[in-house]
Every structure is written in C-alpha cells, then in structure tokens.
Amino acid sequence: MPFTRLIQRDDAAAIAEILNSSREFMAPTEPDRDESFYTVEGQLQIIGVALTEHQAGIRLPHVILDDDGGVVGRATLNEIVRGPLQSASLGYYVDGRRNGRGFASRATAEMVSIAFGELGLHRVQAGTQLVNLASQRVLVKNSFRQYGYAPGYLLLAGEWRDEVLFQRLATDRVDGQAAEYPRSAITRP
C-alpha cells in the first residue's frame, strides 16, 4: 500500500482538523497565517491551487496516509523545475499527535522515489530549522546530505529563521559509500 497519494478536494476536512489540532505543535515552524487557513474552506482553496499547479507540472501535492488509509499529513514536491536543473523542493508535515511514528520518513522515501522515477528529476532539496532535529533525521535517514546553511532564510512565527539545507541527487549512492559534500559548504558562520 502506498504511503502517499495525490491530494483531493475531499481531503480538506481532514487537513483542516490536523492543522487545528497541531497548531501549537507546528507553531515554531510555521509562518503567520490568517485564520481562514485553518478552515475547511481555506483548505479547499489551497488544494485547488495545488491541483492547478500540479496540472501545470510545477507541484506534486500529496497527502500522507496511515496504515488504514487515513490522512495524517502532507508531503509535496514544490517548485518543480525542468530544463537543465531538473529539481524540486520537498516539504512535509505530520499531525502532531502522530509525530515520531515513521510517517514522514516513509512519505519522504516515496516522494523521492516518484521524483527520481516517474518525474525523472535529478535533485530534491529540503530545508529545516536548526532546532528541528526530528526533520533532519527524516532527511538523513532518506540519504539526504546537508549542503548549506541559510541565515535569515524564512519568516516563521514572526521571526527571520535560519535554515539548514539538504539535498539528494538521483546519482547519490544510498549505501553509505557516497562522498560527503565539502565541509566548507555546510559550516555555520
């Protein structure tokens, strides 16, 4: 059974419920949001945009599923770029009540498989805040390597936050034998 699937308009209620119940859990890593973001109507608008961008080939919006097929989060390949770059940015979140149970790791593995297989991309990148060690573990477990540090990268919870940048290339070996990226590229100032 797949761990993700393409988002549907019918997922709006489940996503709104996850976002509301996980508000405090997600607050440190989220931008300031309008209250409509947390409603079914707001999520219907977001899903509509995501599906339009999917049709245009620039986004792959999925939901993360539990073992019973219930929605427990989202995983999205954003900013899909073709041409010489062949790249996308991965974003994900899991219901705070279901965090730490492997859902993000399994979804990340599946999204990377789709990116390199079905979509034929060369690179998938992701960023995390310095303090988000759980998300960094998800990425490392999926053979992402840290390649950079971006000070003041995102405005989250009302503050400009630094990000640790990770990537995985389609050509990276996943048996632990691939060369590390140069340390000079990933040291924090």
How high is the pLDDT of residue 175? 58
Which positions of the chain have pLDDT values less than 50? 176-189
101 Cβ neighbours under 8 A, 6+ residues apart: none
Structural domain boundaries enclosing 134: 4-185
Q: Indicate the average pLDDT of the chain.
A: 89
**Burial of 57 per CB tally in 10 Å (0-12, 13-18, 19+):** exposed
In degrees and rounded to multiples of 5, residue 22 shows phi and psi of -105, 10
How high is the pLDDT of residue 97? 84
The answer to whether 92 and 108 are in contact (CB under 8 A) is: yes
Condensed to tens digits (0 to 9), the pLDDT of residues 129-183 reads: 988 899 999 999 999 999 999 999 998 878 899 999 999 999 987 654 443 444 4
pTM of the predicted model as reported, rounded to 2 decimal places: 0.88
Query: What region, left, alpha or beta, does residue 68 occupy, with left being phi > 0 and alpha being psi -120 to 50 degrees?
Result: alpha
Domain count, the chain: 1
